[in-house]
Chains A and B, each alone.
Chain A
Amino acid sequence: MIQYAKATMNNGLKLIIHQDNSTTMAAINLLYDVGAKDESTGKTGTAHLLEHLMFSGSGNIASYDREVQKAAGENNAFTSNDITNYYIQLPAENLETGLWLESDRMLGLNFTQEAFDIQKNVVIEEYKQRYLNQPYGDIWMLLRPFVYKNHPYRWPAIGSDLSHIENITLDDIKQFYYEHYCPSNAILSIAGNVGKSQCIELVEKWFGTIPRRKNKKRQLPQEPVQVNPGKMEVTRDVPYHELIIAFRMGHRLSPEYYVVDLISDLFAGGKSSILYRHLVINRNMFSKLDAYITGDIDPGMFIIRGRLTRGTEMADAYKEVFKEIEDFISAQPGKYELEKVKNKLESTRQYMHTDIINKAMDLAYHELLGNAGRLNDEIGKYREVSARSIQKTARSLFQLNNSSTLFYYSNNKNQQF
């Protein structure tokens, strides 16, 4: 149980405070309700590039990094398709410095052409390092537009193409910032050795004076119902074939979310899971195999992804995965099996929450989903899932017509390096 207090500033900024006196540190997490899904079609990568620019000076502070360093802090940020999230951890005594820094970035950025050009380059190098210069690095670049036809989940947060990043202008970034980075579109959470009234006072001081701004309303195109199985084949310079199957699933707040999450754990969560035992160990068809959900706020994906062992035919691997799925939906999971994945989920959450950053991040995220208190209810929701509902949900999830399969072939005939 994570205790917390909540407040809302006059300008609409939401604040969540979690007190943890076992630490000497404070963690500040600032979540903006904006992600790659809010970008326009030809300018993908804007949200992420803006995240980079957030470190290149704000209205009153020339160097964000230098000030963090002086205050003995450590910070970072990430951009997903749904959100942009900034966090900083520093000695609790220096909490105010963190709030000063974050509030100034919310008030306004420097937006110099020079910093913009440099960060564009940095992002281009990030794109190359992560997606172009790694074996199997382009799988998500291929998978997203293959599974999504309308919804902006069809591009990755870094941008769908290098040319998109290259074509973004400083004006695009400015416009995006003013449309989305406003107090009422953000959730601030503070965790650590801090007091509630102290936090509220400091947040009032630094954030309360930021004028209210109107943020752009979100209107996202929805995906049509999928009516046919999707199949896509590519060949790449990699040593082994990979098989990736995506099934479309419900959104983050749909009741099936918890059910599908548990199915992914039953499939491939740990060495005792069904697919791992059957296809990696017993049949030796895959050298690695994962099943997981993307966890997106809008309707997301259930992914099965495996790397084939040398000599295994792609068609056989595909057939066997679907045979496993058939076996799975033909009966309800055993009581012990279901109990097992629930136990693991519960303990994983406890391990995560030994860290104040994770607590601050989770509280802010659940507030975005509706209410920070959801965080404490989630384990109960997983516990409630019955064997029957697993079977029922699996039957509708794993329809062939709901699947998109990416056959990622190695160009090496013998699959030998």
Chain B
Amino acid sequence: MNRSKAPRIAKEIKINHIEPFIIKLKNSIPVYMIPTGTQPVVKTDFVFGAGSWWQSKPLVSSATNALLSEGTSKNTAEEIAGKLDYQGVYLNSTSDLDNASVSLYSLTKNLDSILPLISEIIKNPAFPDKEIETYKEHREQSFITESNKVANMARKNFARALYGSGHPYGRSLSVSDFGKLNRKDIGVFHAKHYNSDNCRIIVSGRFNENKLIEKLNEFFGDVDWHASQPKPVFPFRKRPSAKRLVLIPKKNAVQSALRIGCVMFNRTHPDYPGMMVLNNILGGHFGSRLMQNVRQKKGYTYGIGSAVIPLKNSGYFVIVSELAADYQEAAIGEIYRELDKICNKPVSKKELEHTKSYMLGELLRAFDGPFSWSETIKSLIEHEMSTDFYQKISETIQNISPSEILELAQKHLSVNRMYEIVAGNVSEYKPLKYRT
């Protein structure tokens, strides 16, 4: 047998039906249904446009979200935790810049009995003072510990450089914010944002669809939790930093954290699908240029990658790595060389073909199994994107040409658009000449 000859690879990879079907509850909350999988489990997500974009004081959005399950009008925090644990239910509350959600993992057979409690948690949280105080103290400790990591120093300063510290995508917490958090702000934020007009539900796994809708209507379908006032509109202006290079010293750091990147756009931009392909070639996965060059050829780092991060009202491109202090200049030099290269030389047909294959595989994985499928759908509806967005991506992946990629690179990734943040051992750092 000839081992150096690769087995035949499938020419066409079919992507499964990627559309969930949507049913509206009586109060018009849309429910995205994804009945799939082999295990008797259900994941239910309640998504609210209640991220930190909407808060008028620091911490309020994430605190509201985290404290939902810490006591309701009928149950104490301890009782809630006990009931969820007894049913083997995981309740994950998460919030980010744009959205906040409550995600529930349960066995199919336990879903009905746990929904009344989830309804209380979402609609009638009590936000007890004692729980707020404990939350504040523990969260502050974790904030202080995290702030000490070079990766977080770089991340924070990168966001500030791109958007400015007054912008919701650019601002960051400080220790003094913890003292200012109070129950009243949390209650007001909850009332404004956790209501049926601001809610979307995603259900994935194995379940009886009609029965489920009936139950969801019973506990979430009423009009009694409508918004009392229209959603506020916040006009924000970006105030990017004038300095393209930000160095943050940390004593005794054996590695420096790096961020190089610039502001882009959200997923509605016509260039977004193409940028996903471009990013994949540059640094989107293990076989990409940055990883192959800086790690696999040079050994300067344990990991490096790039990403196009979509936000609801913006988006950015970023290269992320942690670099040996001794090699940081050499490594950053390689990164700029890769940026230059992708802006000046069309990608070969072969490399593009490989990237396309990889990306199609990625698409398959994004829809494989109930939980990844629902995560994919969630990330779309959080930004009010249509759920057929990935059809578009898949078309772009199949059709984009080397010259279109080159054009995109020149338009969006030119070196003079980039901000560079280095946190760590920077006292001796000599930036490349066009970076000063």
Contacts and interface: CB of A to CB of B under 8 A. Distances in A.
Partners in one complex: yes
Interface in B94-127: 105-107, 110
Given A69-B355, A74-B361, A287-B142, A125 B39 contact: no
Interface stretch (B2-10, B265-273, B383-391): B2-10
Interface in B244-279: 252-255
B41 A354 contact: yes
B255 A133 contact: yes
Interface stretch (B216-224, B298-306, B411-419): B298-306
Nearest to A239: B144
Given A24-B368, A71-B9, A356-B369, A122 B301 contact: yes
Interface in B345-360: 353-355, 357-358, 360
A72 interface: yes
A272 B145 contact: no
B324 interface: yes
Interface string B360-380: 111011001111100000000
Interface string B32-73: 000011111100000000000000000000000000000000
A23 B107 CA distance: 20
Contacts of B3: 59-61, 100, 104, 107
A130 B151 CA distance: 12
Contact of B134 (A55, A205, A284): A284
Contacts of A90: 361
Interface residues of B, number: 80
Q: Which of B36, B322, B358, B372 has the most CB of A within 10 A?
A: B358
A63 to B, nearest CB: 8
Given A24-B368, A287-B142, A135 B148 contact: yes
Nearest to B12: A93
B-side binding surface: helix, strand, loop or mixed?
mixed
B187 interface: no
Given A68-B287, A91-B361, A287-B142, A350 B107 contact: yes
Contacts of B398: none
A133 B287 contact: no
Contacts of B22: none
Contacts of B323: 125
A96 interface: yes
B292 A343 contact: no
B299 A347 contact: no
A89 interface: yes
Given A100-B3, A129-B322, A272 B82 contact: yes
B214 interface: no
Contacts of B6: 61, 67, 70, 97, 100
Contact of B81 (A59, A119, A272): A272
A351 B87 contact: no
Contacts of B87: 343, 347
Interface in B131-146: 134, 137-138, 141-142, 144-145
A193 to B, nearest CB: 10
A25 B141 contact: no
Q: Which of A25, A61, A132 has the most CB of B within 10 A?
A: A25
B90 interface: yes
A20 to B, nearest CB: 6
Interface in A266-318: 269-273, 277, 280-281, 284, 287-288, 307, 309-310
A344 B149 contact: no
10 contacts: A20-B38, A61-B3, A70-B358, A104-B3, A126-B302, A272-B78, A273-B85, A277-B78, A341-B85, A347-B87
Interface of B: 1, 3-4, 6-10, 13-14, 16, 36-41, 77-78, 81-82, 84-90, 105-107, 110, 134, 137-138, 141-142, 144-145, 147-150, 175, 205, 252-255, 285-287, 292, 295-303, 322-324, 353-355, 357-358, 360-362, 364-365, 368-372
